[in-house]
Amino acid sequence: MAKKRATKLEKVTAPSRRSCACIQAHFGLLDRFPEFRANQARIEHFTNYCRQAGDAALRLEVITIPVVVHVVYRTESENISDAQIKSQIAVLNKDFRAQNADISKVPAPFKPLVGDARVTFALAKKDPDRCATSGITRTKTEQGGFSPLDDGVKSSATGGIEPWDTKKYLNIWVCTITGGILGYAQFPGGPPETDGVVTLNTAFGTNGGATAPFNRGRTTAHEIGHYLNLSHIWGENRIPTCRDTDFVDDTPDQFDKHFGKPTFPQISCNNGPHGDMFMNYMDYVDDAAMFIFTKGQVVRMQAALAGPRSELGTS
């Protein structure tokens, strides 16, 4: 029988600026599952094909992805309400369709690049056994927090809960995360037993325990971007460089991440006069400062939905 880890009761401080552990978790998975790297290479080849083939390779209809939210909690304040969960789903359905009210704040030079991902989200109505469900599970834990480096929240042996069928559902775990992390996600092509998104409980949704400056639901939008094969907008090198890429043609080259609420423009990598697209969901700015996916990012997300995540969603 798997041995439970020691209970973690250290104080977990809410982050004051965005930090995503997607890349750290990703490199850990690559070490444990070497086939993940080969899967990613195949996925990138297919993504390039979709980019060249255009609409002929993609699903053009709007699809709805069934979501299961796994609330893993030790204290009652961590056991977030149904209302807080539903507020997050509402945010996703606006942000991924480019229907968010603050999209009007996109700077004029970037407005022609705004993309509609043609994706909506709905709490699952049937569980894997085809029984009626609210799309929400609740798991009491002894753990004071979970690390993104070992995916402990995704296993009952380590105080969490296993995912539902990751080919059919988007699994989102909501919990306390250690290390000042707001969330992380698994790129397509990884092991199914850890596939999905993890979000800090105080950065999920728009009401209840959601805490500024991460109380507009954008952390989960950012992480689902990764889940649908988007990189951070500045690239993924551990040391910033203008030679790195996010594999998207219509996002300007950008030296590094931005925090807080930058003013437009922010110029780097000789990308003036308009500069960095810091208001993109895949940067690190506060929730109130991010509000755009681009058309090029939509192609990557749709390629993921046509390829490695093709069993997700209904039209």
Residues labelled catalytic: 223
Name the pairing type of β-strands 170-175 and 136-140: unpaired
Distance CA 282, CA 78 (A): 26
Distances from the Cα of 277 to the Cαs of 115, 215, 289, in angstroms?
14, 21, 11
Cα–Cα distance measured from residue 69 to residue 215, given in angstroms and rounded to the nearest whole number = 17
Three-state DSSP state, 146 = strand
> What would the DSSP string read from start to end of 210-278?
--TTS-SSHHHHHHHHHHTTPPPTT-S-SS--TT---S-TTSPP-SS---S-PPSP---TT-TTT---T
Residue whose pair of structure tokens reads 């649908």 in the numeric block: 228
